[in-house]
Structure formats: C-alpha cells, structure tokens
Amino acid sequence: MSKITSLADLNKKREELKSGPGLRTNAIDPENVVQVKVAMATCGIASGAKTIMEFFLEQLERRNVAAVVTQTGCMGYCYAEPTIEVKLPGQDPVVFGFVDLKRADQIIEKYIKTGELVDGIIPVNYQTIDLKE
C-alpha cells in the first residue's frame, strides 16, 4: 500500500475507489439516478444481453454517469432482444429493442446524456396493474 501524503492524494484515491461501493451508493436513491434494466431471460441472454449489461456497467461508470444497472426477467419483446429499459430521473421509462453495442453506445451518448431519443424504441403496448392500489 502506498502512503497518502496529501489531501490531493486522498482525493485521487477516493476517485479510484468510488466504484467499490458505488453500486450501493447509487442504489440508496435510485429515483435520482439513471436506471437501466436489462432483460435477462433465456432469450435475452441468448441474443447477447449479458454483453450489453457488462457494457452498461463498465461504460456508465467510465463516462461518469451515476446509474443503477439491474437485470430483469422477460419483457415480452422476444422478437427484439436484447431489450433494455432506461428510466431517467423524473421521466417515464423508455424501452429500447435490438440493442447491440453500437446502439448501446448511442443510448448512453444521446438518450442518457442529452435526452435525445434514438432508434429502436418499443412503444408501450400494454398496461400493468399495481397490486398495492
């Protein structure tokens, strides 16, 4: 272990280490960060959802976007796998289909960073119930 000999050292160290508990820090308040859900049912995984999930985990952090990336079950759009749902703070979730690495990159750069929509949006075609109400 190298010594921390100044406050600048400590700050550098903190930045390096942030990703350690970062996953937990963002999860304290998921409503205020970007939430990405990757459909990881059999069909999703078979079409490459795992790679997409890893891509988001890695790239969002590298590009300094505070986000919670979770996996979820089948969303029902098996024809469009891999599918992901992105929810920006305070907005309705948007589902993207046919997400490959190129589209994933666009989603981060355009939709997540600037709010500009990109190709591949799957319109909401069902309503769901809330058991609590």
Partner 1 sequence: MSKYSMHLLVCGGTSCHSSESDAIVCNLRDELEAKGLMDSVQVIMTGCFGFCEKGPIVKVMPDNTIYVQVKPEDAQTIVEEHVIKGRKVTRLLYKDPVTQESISDSKHMGFFKKQLRIVLRNCGFINPENIDEYIARDGYQALGKVLTEMTPEQVIKEVKDSGQRGRGGAGFSTGLKWELARKNQSEEKYVVCNADEGDPGAFMDRSVLEGDPHSVLEAMAICGYSIGASNGLIYIRAEYPLAIERLKIAIKQAREYGLLGNNIFGTGFNFDIKLRYGAGAFVCGEETALIHSMEGLRGEPTVKPPFPAESGYNGKPTNVNNVETFAAIPAIILKGAKWFSSIGTDRSKGTKVFALAGKINNVGLIEVPMGTTLREVIFEIGGGIRNGKKFKGIQTGGPSGGCLSEKHLDTPIDFDNLIAAGSIMGSGAMIVLDEDDCMVSMAKFFLEFTVEESCGKCAPCRIGNKRLHELLGQICEGKGKLEDLDRLRNMSVVIKDTALCGLGQTSPNPVLSMMDNYYDEYVAHVTDKKCPAGQCKSLMEYVVNPENCVGCTACARVCPVNAISGERKEVHFIDPSICIKCGACMEKCKFDAIFIR
Q: Report the distance separating Cα 129 and Cα 7, nearest Å.
A: 52
Rounded Cα distance between 49 and 5, Å, is 44
Q: Choose, by CB under 8 A, the member of 32, 46, 54, 121 that binds partner 1.
A: 54
Instruction: In angstroms, give the least distance from the CB of 21 to partner 1.
Output: 5
Q: State the nearest-atom distance from the C-beta of 56 to partner 1, in Å.
A: 9
How many residues form the binding site for partner 1 (CB under 8 A)?
Answer: 35
Q: Is 57 in the site for partner 1 (CB under 8 A)?
A: yes
Q: Is 101 in the site for partner 1 (CB under 8 A)?
A: no
CB-count exposure of residue 107 (10 Å: 0-12, 13-18, 19+)? buried
Residues 66-95 that bind partner 1 (CB under 8 A): 68-73
Q: Running DSSP on this structure, what letter comes out for residue 107?
A: I
Q: Which residue has 């929509």 as its token pair? A: 117
* Percentage helix, strand, coil for the chain under 3-state DSSP, each rounded to 5: 45, 15, 40
Using CB under 8 A, list all residues that contact partner 1: 1, 3-7, 9-11, 13-14, 17-27, 30, 40, 53-54, 57-58, 61, 68-73
